Amino acid sequence: MSLLGLLVWIIVGIIVGAIAKAIYPGHQRGGWVSALILGIIGSFIGGTLATLITTGSLAITTTGLNILGIILAVVGALIAIFIWQQVSKSA
């Protein structure tokens, strides 16, 4: 993984976290900071899936940064927020 690819997906993750927080229904625990962190996690999940789908490789690169990668990053962030809600609710 290149440093540029990592930096791009972190920046995309911050944006995706904000989008996912706006899309996700109801009140989320943890506020914006946790949503941004979960957005970064979702971005890596979505970026990896997009790269796997488009290139057949699991390496995260900037080639995964396309509309499919961004959509999958938002979906990954929504899944990460959902999992976080379930874990924090039971704790």
Q: What is the pLDDT of residues 16-36, one digit of tens each?
A: 888 888 887 776 666 777 777
Terminal CA-to-CA distance of the chain, rounded, Å? 35
Q: Is 52 exposed, middle or buried (0-12, 13-18, 19+ CB in 10 A)?
A: middle
Higher pLDDT, 74 or 68: 74
State pTM to two decimals.
0.72
Closest C-alpha among 84, 3, 88 to residue 36 = 84
For the chain, what are the domain ranges?
3-21+40-90
- Tokens 């488009």 belong to residue: 54
Q: What is the pLDDT of residues 32-71, one digit of tens each?
A: 777 778 878 877 777 777 777 777 766 655 555 677 777 8
- Nearest-angstrom CA–CA distance, 18 and 36: 6
